[in-house]
Amino acid sequence: MLNSEKTMIAIEEMYQLFPTAHGELTHQSSFELLIAVILSAQATDVSVNKATPALFAAYPTPQRLADAPIEDIIQKIKTIGLYRNKAKNIKACAQQLLDNFHGEVPQTREELMSLAGVGRKTANVVLGDAFGIPAIAVDTHVERVSKRLRICKLNANVLEVEDTLMRKIPKELWVKTHHTMIFFGRYHCLARAPKCDICPLLSMCQEGKDRMKLAK
């Protein structure tokens, strides 16, 4: 496994590759971000961004979304995977914001995770992107990159990956690193066709070196 020093060397290389890495879900408020992240579970950001403009235009506040008929919500997000369950979750989430948080998005992980459709990853995204609170959200890209580079153990679960990253990366860099690792995994270290042949981290990646040997 990479120690903290080598982990940061790898992360710095990712910063160089993707200096403007950022969250790609379109939103204008913490409420819109919360709903967009809930909708993004097992779906692409692109698909969510296509559906949310009409959704947010129709239901711009927690009150409007909570009051909306479930079938109307479904019609606006039916192009997104798992749309029926997600429609129920975002309607319930909006009602919980009204009932428990005066219509405002809470700013602690525990409170966020009390909302329908919100797990630890979603909570961490909202903390970092909406409020600038240090957090690392471990999605499929972050997990894949962490394991390929042996930043964490290969058999680590999602929480263990998060804990390892938080231990090895300075707190003030958590949000930046989260976005950069997602970009690196989404656009460079892809699941099925990683760009090992042009990767500046190849010397640190045993899986990549093995892949290159097999390609010869």
Q: Is 139 a catalytic residue?
A: yes
CB-based contacts of 190: which residues, under 8 Å, 6+ apart? none
Q: Confirm if 109 and 120 have CB atoms less than 8 A apart.
A: yes
Residue 132: name the closest of 180, 171, 75 by CA. 171
Q: Which of 76, 121, 129, 168 is catalytic?
A: 121
Q: Is 67 a catalytic residue?
A: no
Token pair 């938080």: residue: 166
* Count of other CB atoms within 10 angstroms of residue 214: 7
Q: Which of 86, 91, 139, 168 is catalytic?
A: 139
The per-residue DSSP string of 164-179 comes to HHHHHS-GGGHHHHHH
Kindly report the CA angle at 144 between 167 and 106, in degrees rounded to 5?
60
Active site residues: 121, 139
